[in-house]
Amino acid sequence: MKILLGLVVLILIFAVISTLLLTGKSDENYGSSTKKIQQI
């Protein structure tokens, strides 16, 4: 069980870091997508 929890935590951390890197590199694309969501 501890191993599974550890894997889940690592995956979550990796997902957060990857999303931060992607949004940091493509702020324009991220901004346009959020604007579209807000319009809906």
Residue 8's domain spans which residues?
A: 2-39
Q: What is the mean pLDDT of each run of 10 residues along the chain (40 residues)?
A: 92 88 63 60
Helix (H) or strand (E) segment spanning residue 40: none
- Count of CB atoms situated within 10 Å of the CB of 38: 7
pLDDT confidence of residue 37: 62
Please give the pLDDT value at position 1: 81
**Entry pTM:** 0.50
Q: How many domains does the chain have?
A: 1
User: What pLDDT was estimated at residue 21?
Assistant: 76
